[in-house]
């Protein structure tokens, strides 16, 4: 599995930087965002370093499917009952800040409004 020693999320996956874990398995780590936009805001991060969604290929179908199926399970487990939002920012024009593929999963009252 690839790893970038300078990547913030690779360091979190490796346990070098602490996080508040919500879920972990052999493919992904999910943890609570330190600057949440919603009452419940977790990031689902592949353990494999993939810089952005535009670098995905056919070999990543299982990984993205796994992340997509995990999102509603996490929201249910965290008490979100009235809907949630998923976002994957890609590249500079897509608002990506950390160049390690990650899915934001946000739930609670109007999670997309930041005021």
Burial grade of 8 (CB within 10 A; 0-12, 13-18, 19 or more): middle
- Residue 102 annotated in active site: yes
Q: Please say whether the beta carbons of 76 and 26 come within 8 A.
A: no
Query: Would you report the helix, strand and coil content of the chain in percent, each value rounded to 5?
Result: 30, 20, 50
- Superfamily grouping for domain 8-107: HIT-like (3.30.428.10)
Predicted pLDDT of residue 115 = 56
Q: How far apart are CA 32 and CA 12, in angstroms?
A: 12
Task: Note the pLDDT of residue 3.
Answer: 82
Q: Which of 41, 49, 100, 102 is catalytic?
A: 102
pTM, to two decimals = 0.92
Q: How is residue 38 written in tokens?
A: 């919603």
What is the Cα 6 distance to its own chain's centre? Answer: 18
Q: What is the pLDDT of residues 52-109, one digit of tens each?
A: 999 999 999 999 999 999 999 999 999 999 999 999 999 999 999 999 999 999 998 7
User: In this predicted structure, what is the pLDDT of residue 2?
Assistant: 79
Phi (first) and psi of residue 46, to 5 degrees: -65, 145
pLDDT for 11 equals: 97
Residue 19 has pLDDT above 60, yes or no: yes
SS3 (DSSP) at 33: coil
Strand-pair partners of 42: 32, 105
């Amino acid at each position: 599995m690839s790893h970038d020693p300078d990547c913030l999320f690779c360091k979190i996956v490796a346990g070098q930087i602490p996080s508040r874990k919500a879920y972990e398995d052999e493919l992904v780590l999910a943890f609570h965002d330190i600057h949440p936009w919603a009452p419940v805001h977790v990031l689902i991060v592949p353990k494999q370093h993939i810089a952005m969604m535009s670098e995905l290929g056919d070999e990543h179908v299982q990984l993205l499917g796994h992340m997509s199926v995990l999102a509603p399970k996490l929201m249910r487990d965290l008490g979100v009952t009235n809907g949630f939002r998923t976002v994957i920012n890609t590249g500079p024009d897509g608002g990506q800040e950390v160049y390690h593929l990650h899915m934001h999963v946000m739930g609670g009252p109007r999670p997309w409004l930041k005021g």
